[in-house]
Amino acid sequence: MKKLISMILAILLICAGLYIGADQLEKAKGITGENSLNLYNWGDYIDPELITKFEDETGYRVTYETFDSNEAMYTKIEQGGTNYDLAVPSEYMIERMIDEDLLIELDHSKIKGLANIDAQFLNQSFDPSNQFSIPYFWGTLGIIYNDKFVEEDAIQHWDDLWNPELKNEVMLIDGAREIIGLALDSEGNSLNSKEDDQLAAAAKKLSGLTPNVKAIVADEIKMYMIQEEASVAVTFSGEASEMLYENENLHYVIPSEGSNLWFDNFVIPKTAKNFEAAYAFINFMLEPENAAQNAEYVGYSTPNKEAMKILPAEITEDEQFYPNEETMKNLEVYEDLGSKYIGVYNDYFLEFKMHRK
């Protein structure tokens, strides 16, 4: 028993020593809770030079952690294991996090530069008056194709994906909302539909797309399209921008009948520790020069109207990524469907994926 007690005491002493050592190391580096910012963002979704610039200008030190889905981000914040000061979820997830009291209400008196955001990107249904979130990037879901294999302008609508000539040529993004949504859009229905007959019809229509589907993947779409291993893909606008940069034969189309208009916004989780650092970073990213630099690096569309004045015309006048007013009218923002219909969408999508095997 004495040996056991001695062993436990030794382990506790070692743990205490490690904790003190780590604490001293952090203090030696000058990194403490008061001058650190824990940022939780999508992968490769900010220019690293801007993080360095922020640290140099403010004295804060940024810890940058990434996630690959809204659901993964939500789970980690909801569990409360890590104290993120700032996160960047998408619209439907922001709505859910507000409903579940996971976010703090923003103090707008501490936010400088909100007037730089174009009014059309403020006061969205998922966060009226932007009480909990500040726009970061926006974009669309569309179709990218290679004109070496597909006649230019031959693909303009979702229904074009069902063309028999595209057998085993179509890459689909691995997302239930996106794929069930495009089938709904193709039938003139809302991509937020909770009508059982519309959802069943969309699922049935998708089954007819199976012969054309080469793969259902995520980031791999970029490699397939750039290296011309597929001729058509469904992807997000920012991903498409990167692909177009690498291959001049690629084109991005937003179907005129409708598609998804998405937003990624800054939010401060309830578990945040350094609110001042969070506000400082939001203000930093609202500065037009920083927003413009970030948009050029990431390739997604900026909501910052003052940054738009700085960006090259070849970027801001490109309707593939900054659609005209008519196209914008037909775009829908994802809404939180609630657990029942999230399950319905996921079940139909899983059935579609299983069927194609």
pLDDT, tens digit (0-9, with 9 covering 90-100), for 200-227: 999 999 999 999 999 999 888 999 999 9
| 16 plus 45 within the same structural domain | yes
String of DSSP letters for 242-257: HHHHH-TTEEEE--TT
Give pLDDT, residue 184: 98
Q: In terms of DSSP bridges, do strands 170-173 and 213-217 run parallel, antiparallel, or are they unpaired?
A: parallel
Give pLDDT, residue 34: 78
| 162 plus 304 within the same structural domain | no
| 44 plus 167 within the same structural domain | no
Q: Is the predicted pLDDT of residue 31 greater than 80, yes or no?
A: no
Rg (CA), the chain: 23
| 246 plus 303 within the same structural domain | no
Give pLDDT, residue 357: 59
| 278 plus 174 within the same structural domain | no
| 301 plus 187 within the same structural domain | no
The two tokens of residue 131 are 């009480």
Cα–Cα distances (Å) from 37 to 27, 102, 103, 104, 116, in that order, read: 15, 18, 17, 16, 24
String of DSSP letters for 200-226: HHHHHHHHTTGGGEEEEESTHHHHHHH
| 247 plus 307 within the same structural domain | no
Could you report the per-residue pLDDT of 339-349, keeping only the tens digit for each? 899 999 999 99
Q: Based on the structure, what is the number of domains in the chain? A: 2
pLDDT bin (cut points 50, 70, 90) of residue 8 is very low
Cα–Cα distances (Å) from 311 to 153, 245, 251, 296, in that order, read: 27, 16, 21, 8
Could you report the per-residue pLDDT of 44-72, keeping only the tens digit for each? 899 999 999 999 999 999 999 999 889 89
| 345 plus 230 within the same structural domain | yes
End-to-end CA, the chain: 60
The two tokens of residue 267 are 């939010």
When the pLDDT of each residue in the chain is averaged and rounded to a whole number, the result is: 90
The H or E element containing residue 262 is strand 259-266
| 21 plus 76 within the same structural domain | yes
Cβ-contact 191, 185 below 8 angstroms: yes
| 303 plus 330 within the same structural domain | no
Cα–Cα distances (Å) from 15 to 2, 23, 31, 117, 178, in that order, read: 20, 12, 21, 49, 47
Least confidently predicted of 21-35, 88-102, 160-174: 21-35
Domain containing 172: what range?
139-261+323-355
Average the pLDDT over 27-34 and give the result: 47
Give pLDDT, residue 152: 84
- Tell me what percent of the residues of the chain surpass a pLDDT of 90: 81
| 331 plus 284 within the same structural domain | no
Could you report the per-residue pLDDT of 117-144, keeping only the tens digit for each? 999 999 999 999 999 999 999 999 999 9
Could you report the per-residue pLDDT of 246-293, keeping only the tens digit for each? 999 999 999 999 999 999 999 999 999 999 999 999 999 999 999 999
* pLDDT: which is higher, 154 or 24: 154
172: CATH: 3.40.190.10
| 343 plus 203 within the same structural domain | yes
Give pLDDT, residue 33: 59
What is d(CA 207, CA 28) in angstroms, rounded to the nearest whole number? 60
Give pLDDT, residue 238: 85
